[in-house]
Amino acid sequence: MELIINKLNKNQERASNVFFDDILMNEELNEYLRQWENEYMFSLGKIGLFKTEVAENLTYEQIKYFVRIFYHVRGHFYKFLWCLGNNAPDQKAKKLILDNFKEEFGENKPSHETLYQTFAHSIDPTINIAEEFIKEEFYLDFLRKYNIEHTRVLLANSWNYKISAFSAYERLDNTDYSTLLKMLRCFKLKNPVNSIFFDIHANAKHFDMLYCDLSKVWHDEKETVKGAFMFIASHQLSMWKLLSDSVLSQ
């Protein structure tokens, strides 16, 4: 009996140590995420398009141009998901990607594509997103390279890197779309902007759904997480800078 009790105590102690190790690891991860996001937000705030005084003085032509080219920042996300889904290692991982696809379609509500078209129409009723999807008239070279590089890096790395990059991408969804909402509110237009598409992304909880998987990777391969997060942040900032320059040059 004494041996059994001692064994139980040791098992409880081991479980307790694992529990507290996980807490410490998560605190370390959370601190990294806070610092990473703060650095990203600081750099994002220095980009011209996201400065209040710049956004307030955009011309109508510049705003319409933004609507057309920004479509290609978010309109090719399905390829990102396609790369993940085709390389997912098990049913749980595949379900994670499928759930994201399902949300893109809006379930019993309008799809994200439809919401973007509604946004575009609130700016200019002549903008046809379905036609742009086919013709890609405003799919500029730097946007094409931005999307291709996402795919190239995802395919070249392990699943742990992929899920880390996906987590970083979803984490920045909230940050980027909150910044975009502030920019939209600066537009001086006759009619109100329909911003539901942006509201949904600014308040999405996709990163929360990935946190458990990310924390496991952090526990085993911390540098993999850091590498993926650094890539996504720098890649995103580079794209925003080029997009800003393109809009402001109109």
Domain assignment present for 237: yes
This prediction's pTM: 0.88
The token duo for 75 is 């309109």
Report the CATH number that the domain containing residue 93 is assigned in CATH.
1.20.910.10
* Inside any domain, residue 41: yes
Query: Among 211, 249, 245, 250, which residue's Cα sits nearest to residue 46?
Result: 245
Residues 162, 87 contacting (CB under 8 angstroms): yes
Q: Do 81 and 97 form a contact (C-beta atoms < 8 A)?
A: yes
In a domain, 57, yes or no: yes
Tens of pLDDT, residues 217-229: 999 999 999 999 9
pLDDT of the residue at 190? 87
Tell whether 106 is covered by a domain: yes
- The label of the residue with tokens 């009619």 reads 191
Residue 5: the pLDDT is: 55
User: Do 197 and 118 contact (CB within 8 A), yes or no?
Assistant: yes
Q: Which domain holds residue 170?
A: 33-248
Domain count, the chain: 1
Q: At residue 167, what is the residue type?
A: S
Q: Is 20 part of any domain?
A: no
Q: Per-residue pLDDT tens for 7-53?
A: 545 554 443 443 344 555 689 999 999 999 999 999 999 999 999 99
| Residue 22: predicted pLDDT | 52
The predicted pLDDT at position 107 comes to: 83
> Is residue 174 in some structural domain?
yes
Residue 27 lies in a domain: no
Please give the chain's pLDDT, 250 residues, in tens: 655 555 545 554 443 443 344 555 689 999 999 999 999 999 999 999 999 999 999 999 999 999 999 999 999 999 999 999 999 999 999 999 999 888 889 888 999 999 999 999 999 999 999 999 999 999 999 999 999 999 999 999 999 999 999 999 999 999 999 999 999 999 999 889 999 999 999 998 989 999 999 999 999 999 999 999 999 999 999 999 999 999 999 9
d(CA 152, CA 159): 14
DSSP 3-21: HHHHHHHHHHHHHHHHHHH
Contact by Cβ (8 Å): 232, 196: no
pLDDT at 9 (0 to 100): 55
pLDDT at residue 108, as a whole number: 87
Contact predicate 129/116, CB 8 Å: yes
Domain presence at residue 5: no
Q: Within a 13 Å sphere around the CA of 246, how many CA atoms are in the beta-carbon half? A: 19
Residue 91 confidence (pLDDT): 95
Closest CA to 45 of 188, 180, 185: 180
